[in-house]
Chains A and B, each alone.
Chain A
Amino acid sequence: MAEKIKKATRHTNQNEGLIFEKSSPGKRAFELPPLDVPKVDVAKTLGAQHRRDGVEGFPEVSEIEVIRHFTRLSTWNYAIDLGMYPLGSCTMKYNPRVNEFVARLDGIATEHPYQSQELSQGCLKILQLLEKCLLEITGMDCITLQPAAGAQGELTGLLLIRAYLEKQGNARKKVLIPDSAHGTNPATAVIAGYEVQNIKSESHGQIDVDKLRDLVTEDVAALMITNPSTLGIFEERIPEIAEILHARGALLYMDGANMNALTGVMRPGDTGVDVMHLNLHKTFSTPHGGGGPGAGPVAMKKILEPFRPVPILVEREGGKLALEQVRPDSIGKVRAFGGNFGVLVRALAYILAYGPGVRQATEDAVLNANYIRKHLEGVYDLPYSLPSMHEVVFSDAKQKRNGVNTMDIAKRLIDYGFHPYTTAFPLIVPGALMIEPTESESKEECDLFIDAMKSIAEEAAATPELVKTAPHTTRVKRLDEVGAARKPVLRWKAVSRSKAAD
């Protein structure tokens, strides 16, 4: 087994407790410059009823301990900087380091959203250029950069649709969502005040257009589509789908999570999409950082323009940029201030680095996915025959015969030095293995991944127990999720002296 696993060996991972467990009164990690104005008495200034005497239980450690603590913790993480994440629909591509550098520049990181517009022309130019680039990429008419994440973008999109339909006299009641959709889609529709109607995909995970024709009534506000679908397959009939919806006064919302298959190759706006969101932390390389922050700009056709969240970026005479806070039909704000500016900066830096050549990234992403598909076809069950774009979905049907499922295979993949692919999603493929390599993977890394997956398939056949009890080489073994949910322990607590004495 040891020889087959080429990428990973056991890594020295120290044990490390919680920072609170290292705390001892009197230790300092940070000093402030001395106060240059007269000190004040806190109780007198605030009133005794408001006064606090320090935060109980807050850690007291030294600078070196902070550095060691977090450095040690970081060594417990897998990361893109270490290797491939084949996670479907997550687009775990390289996070360019220059993006981090420019986001931290004085004059960029230091700006206050309420400073006067004369003092913010640099920030506003960045926003304007990003808007132009994203509109060029999507083929839409206008855009809002405000939403803080994909899910918020989806919500904004649906609120725009609602506002538009309301203005026409009837907000309507339902949103159609394919059963292959990401969980945020139905959750968002409900928050936007709509009922969810599921539409079953046909055998290839595509929208069943005939069924759609029947389902689109005057009660339907929109269809939420992901293109390519969560199976990685292009929805060829999307223009027809758009027509069906438009004929009944409904709109087409596109979840842009899979733009990595389309950027520079085609534009969703050209096919009848009315509104879509983008995930800057997917397609546009901003870092996942362990789970955020992201940004979810929403691009739309002209008909939705009046409803955009405020503030709106406008160009006044003389080329001066400004933010307009008042628009009568705006849906309002979905979050305070203008948006995740720091994330927007990183996305623009990415786009500028590529320029018109951004198509090459898309081509390499699709090439990698198809290369992996070709080598694993026959090794893992492929429940459809249509061509894949930037991601491929297998099922665990073959391995299930020996009692090995997609979760087990994913855990065993960790021993081979990779992060697992997406397991058990999309729901329309039972036992799914959803694989998206992105363009950031070299042929070498793809080959290592293919070898690993082939080896695990062999193990599933010959020594299934090895796979079912994986991972074997991690610092912690499989964790008790059931116990964590039954008796949640969600914070550290100091052990009281009396308890310790018992």
Chain B
Amino acid sequence: MGYPANYRYTKEHEWVDAKDGVATIGITDYAQSELGDVVFVELPEAGKKLETGKSFGTVESVKAVSEIYAPVSGEVLEANPALHNKPETINSDPHGAAWMVRVKLANPAELEKLMDSAAYEAYVAAKGKEASA
């Protein structure tokens, strides 16, 4: 699975798809493969304010729980209702159907600090080498 060219990425393996002042956020294919089969997702309600770098939810597999960190700041417009009943979507379609929250961007300039798809792919490839070393 590739990493969509128009998304931006964080070191904590979140992706951001920004359009017209609204950001859609999820976790990457790398993140879901590290976690294993996802069993549960905890997401914030609409209206919650996100702060860059702070945790806003969790993703659970059988053996591990991971925090999800806000890549940008803003107000949550909507959390993906489908993930509650079908958390496994995160494993099958992490970059599309498994979007987690839509956020009204407080400061669009924050997007510049994130990696583009090429940088993220290189970052993940380096991690892969580390793991098997």
A contacts, CB < 8 Å to B: 481-482, 485-486
The contact size tier of chain B is under 10
A346 to chain B, nearest CB (A): 34
6 pairs from A and B in contact (CB 8 Å cutoff): A482-B36, A482-B37, A482-B61, A485-B39, A485-B60, A486-B88
Question: What is the count of residue pairs linking A and B with beta-carbon distances less than 8 angstroms?
Answer: 14
B contacts, CB < 8 Å to A: 36-37, 39-40, 60-62, 87-88
CA–CA, A425 to B8, complex, Å? 36
What B residues does A485 contact at CB under 8 A? Answer: 39-40, 60, 62
Q: Say what secondary structure dominates the interface of chain A.
A: helix
Closest to A430 in B: B131
Closest to A486 in B: B39
CA–CA, A102 to B60, complex, Å? 46
Closest to A485 in B: B39
B35 to chain A, nearest CB (A): 11
A483 to chain B, nearest CB (A): 9
CA–CA, A481 to B36, complex, Å? 12
Q: Given contact pairs A482-B36, A486-B40, enumerate 12 new A-B contacts (beta carbons under 8 Å).
A: A481-B62, A482-B37, A482-B39, A482-B61, A482-B62, A485-B39, A485-B40, A485-B60, A485-B62, A486-B39, A486-B87, A486-B88
B100 to chain A, nearest CB (A): 17
Closest to A482 in B: B37
What A residues does B87 contact at CB under 8 A? Answer: 486
CA–CA, A486 to B61, complex, Å? 9
A85 to chain B, nearest CB (A): 22
Closest to B39 in A: A485
CA–CA, A482 to B38, complex, Å? 8
B75 to chain A, nearest CB (A): 30
CA–CA, A481 to B88, complex, Å? 14
CA–CA, A25 to B47, complex, Å? 54
CA–CA, A482 to B40, complex, Å? 10
What A residues does B40 contact at CB under 8 A? Answer: 485-486
What A residues does B60 contact at CB under 8 A? Answer: 485
A487 to chain B, nearest CB (A): 9
A484 to chain B, nearest CB (A): 8
Closest to B60 in A: A485
CA–CA, A444 to B106, complex, Å? 69
B48 to chain A, nearest CB (A): 24
CA–CA, A481 to B62, complex, Å? 7
A192 to chain B, nearest CB (A): 22
CA–CA, A481 to B38, complex, Å? 11
CA–CA, A481 to B64, complex, Å? 13
A189 to chain B, nearest CB (A): 18
